[in-house]
Structure 1
Amino acid sequence: MKIVKVETFRVPPRWLFLAVTTDEGVTGWGEPVVEGRAETVQTAIAELSDYLIGSDPLRIEDTWQVLTKGGFYRGGPVLSSAVAGIDQALWDIAGKVYGVPVYDLLGGPVRDRVRIYGWIGGDRPSALAEDAQRQVAAGLTAVKMNGSEELTAIDTPRQLDLLVERVSAVREVLGPDRDLAVDFHGRYSPAMARRALPLLEPLRPIFVEEPVVPELSADLGRIAAGTSIPIATGERLYSRWDFRDLLGSGVAVVQPDLSHAGGISEVRRIAAMAEAYGVSLAPHCPLGPIALAACVQVDVATPNFLIQEQSLGIHYNVGSDLLDYLVDRSVFAAPDGWLARPTRPGLGIEVDEAEVRRAAQHPHRWRNAIWRHTDGSFAEW
């Protein structure tokens, strides 16, 4: 079996899909994208295709090693995301060839269902309590919200009060039997994070995510030591080497993104490393159906899995939805806040190729917002 075709599809709302086709007619799907840099990743895929065409799709690990290391210059979000989507597609092919879900190729399932959470916004708040109530009505047992809008390095007491007010409003809706995660989105300085986290402790978040930008990861140990709230991070880290120094720092949850951090192969290794430190896995995934399907395969096979992000109802998905590109939408049904273990071969989904090709005729040019402080200086989004 050999790879004969590699195609990419830039589809609304902000996603990039990949199809890898073999000479035996088996097609694997992946989702390689850097949000806001989809065209750049498309170019990287085209460059990597020079190696892929004619190669054996079942040599997944060898292909991963060549694509990540064979070009001499390594790592970073663009290359790692391109490799991630290719890796997903190759695992999809392997599962279809052998007639089993990918998790069976990873050692088999360790759980029968996967807990998910949903987004309710929070950084441009308007109706947080109502949004949380809608997620509860939909059956979710956990939600995540942004904690704050843009912040200065040492912001006012009022900003801290607003954080507590917003999180308190959501906690009141959720009660003690559901979980609430708070995303700081890298908007806090280490000093602001240390001030804010103790204030949230009575509200008992399941975790606070990305309290500082990844460039300041060396400060996470001090931040974690100053609070009882579990600290989560990792959506902007791209390999096991990026995670290596974090795992002994006191971080409680790692959040590699299967469309950024080298795909199924690398996230599986990151999870195993984390397990040795008592750290849980909660894959980052505000993306499309292929990325979520890949996450679920890893979640089912990973002992230290905690909870899965997904993008149904997320505010980024304007004009399109997670389910729009699937033939059978029931695979992501979660009326009680849990996804059932998928049983179809490969990634467990059937992509609606005709709809993907139709949507790709009008490719998006999504870009994240640029925020500024009141003095005109750049602010973290």
Structure 2
Amino acid sequence: MDDLRIEKIELFKVPPRWLFLKITTKSGIIGWGEPVVEGKAATVEACVNELSQYLIGRSANDIEDIWQTLYGGGFYRGGPILMSAISGIDQALWDIKGKHLGVPVYDLLGGAVRKKMKMYCWIGGDHPEVVLEQAREKVEQGYKAVKMNATGAFAWIDSLQKIKTVADNIRLLREEFGDTLDIGLDFHGRIHKGMVKRLIDELAPYNPMFIEEPVLSENKEAFDHIYPYTSIPIATGERMFSRWDFKELLHRGTVDIIQPDLSHAGGISEVRRIAAMAEAYDVALAPHCPLGPVALASCLHVDFNSINAVIQESSLGIHYNKGFDLLDYMDNPEVFDVKDGYIELLKKPGLGVEINEEKLREGQKIGHNWANPVWRNEDGSFAEW
């Protein structure tokens, strides 16, 4: 298919903290991707440029062979930078293929198994005073589920006073909304193994929808102790980058919900494979997505096609996006309208999002150098953010 030969690759580093990829074919079909690690956008940009030698002149139709070449062709493989670069490229290639054939990506994956996808959005949680206000805003916008951080900075073993305050946020929401609002709690890998059970004791009476990253994902053996301690579903996976990273955790049987990120875990091709692996272990899928419109659309196409997908994260309106929300870069923002807690099937060919390139080029002039904060405990020692 000479008309699908890749002729040009462009990258746009834009606020708030995103990197967009544009792949153009000989026939003029354009595919969009988001290859980025939050806080390492320039590094991923360099990686995409290095990988371009495997792309220029290839048919964009050869998605799987290109994926295998990008993953294994450089000998060293895996990790956040390479896999995020591959992710954005893979998203763009699926976008091109869908546009070329005139069908949404989920049709290329085998078709949709649902008509709409349940959504949730992040509302903070480091400080109780903002939680109620933000939750009310999200409910008014149509959400029936939210997620918040369970704690701020936490020492390896922290004080009783601090432990007693962790339930304040979810308590406020339960008092306001009762059981009508699903509430996910993100430990964000901030908590060390010795504190997790104590925190679960405080949180359990308020029935969270799930507990996310109770410990860092590299501490897989800690899940063996946490998982049997609670009936609250355990979720993790945003810092895991391939099916090989998920393999051991699934085999251990100590996770209920996996959260691969479509811009970090190898794109649509790899996350669809990870979802199928999880299905075989009776584990649910809820992709991580604090990024932009292409990443969100990619998540939704996998969700629409995966029977074990249960809920989808969105960054719509979160604090990172101040002044540059993901809808600002779109010509068809209505496709992400949340109605009664759900986003309906995307109907347009490819990923189904129309990117406003003029806005991207304006954003590129501003650029960004976003990095996450570095936190310290009271004694001055490093704390996980």
Residue 344 of structure 1 pairs with residue 344 of structure 2 = no
TM-superposed deviation, 1:198: 2.7
TM-superposed deviation, 1:138: 1.6
2:166 partner SS: helix
**Number of aligned residues:** 381
> Aligned partners of 1:237 and 1:63: how far apart in 2?
21
TM-superposed deviation, 1:319: 2.0
Structure 1 segment 151-162 matched on structure 2, within 5 A: 151-162=154-165
Residue 281 of structure 1 pairs with residue 281 of structure 2 = no
> Aligned partners of 1:83 and 1:172: how far apart in 2?
44
**Corresponding residue number in structure 2 for 1:332:** 336
Residue 71 of structure 1 pairs with residue 74 of structure 2 = yes
Residue 36 of structure 1 pairs with residue 39 of structure 2 = yes
Residue 379 of structure 1 pairs with residue 361 of structure 2 = no
Residue 222 of structure 1 pairs with residue 232 of structure 2 = no
**Corresponding residue number in structure 2 for 1:56:** 59
TM-superposed deviation, 1:173: 2.3
> Aligned partners of 1:169 and 1:204: how far apart in 2?
13
1:244 partner SS: helix
> Aligned partners of 2:324 and 2:28: how far apart in 1?
29
Query: Residues 224-258 of structure 1, C-alpha deviation per residue, up to 9 Å, x if partnerless?
Result: 11111100000000000000011133210000000
Residue 264 of structure 1 pairs with residue 268 of structure 2 = yes
Is the 1:132–1:174 contact (alpha carbons within 8 Å) kept by the matching residues of 2? no
Is the 1:181–1:209 contact (alpha carbons within 8 Å) kept by the matching residues of 2? yes
> Aligned partners of 1:171 and 1:86: how far apart in 2?
42
Instruction: State which of 127, 131, 149 in structure 2 corresponds to 1:124.
Output: 127
Which amino acid in the other structure matches residue 271 of structure 1?
A
Which amino acid in the other structure matches residue 163 of structure 1?
V
Which amino acid in the other structure matches residue 377 of structure 1?
S
**Corresponding residue number in structure 1 for 2:308:** 304
Residue 108 of structure 1 pairs with residue 121 of structure 2 = no
Runs of 4+ in 1 over 4 A off after TM superposition: none
Which amino acid in the other structure matches residue 17 of structure 1?
F
**Corresponding residue number in structure 2 for 1:254:** 258
**Corresponding residue number in structure 2 for 1:241:** 244
Instruction: State which of 310, 316, 319 in structure 1 corresponds to 2:320.
Output: 316
Residue 86 of structure 1 pairs with residue 113 of structure 2 = no
TM-superposed deviation, 1:221: 2.0
Is the 1:133–1:173 contact (alpha carbons within 8 Å) kept by the matching residues of 2? no
Unaligned runs of 5+ in 2: none
Deviates more, 1:50-59 or 1:128-137: 128-137
2:326 partner SS: coil
> Aligned partners of 1:351 and 1:134: how far apart in 2?
26
TM-superposed deviation, 1:172: 2.0
Q: Share of identical aligned residues, percent? A: 55
Which amino acid in the other structure matches residue 70 of structure 1?
G
Which amino acid in the other structure matches residue 330 of structure 1?
E
Cα RMSD after superposing both structures = 0.9
Deviates more, 1:344-353 or 1:191-200: 191-200
> Aligned partners of 1:16 and 1:218: how far apart in 2?
34
Deviates more, 1:280-289 or 1:243-252: 243-252
Which amino acid in the other structure matches residue 62 of structure 1?
D
TM-superposed deviation, 1:199: 2.4
**Corresponding residue number in structure 2 for 1:134:** 137
Is the 2:128–2:168 contact (alpha carbons within 8 Å) kept by the matching residues of 1? no
TM-superposed deviation, 1:335: 3.2
Query: Residues 356-377 of structure 1, C-alpha deviation per residue, up to 9 Å, x if partnerless?
Result: 1121122111111011111111
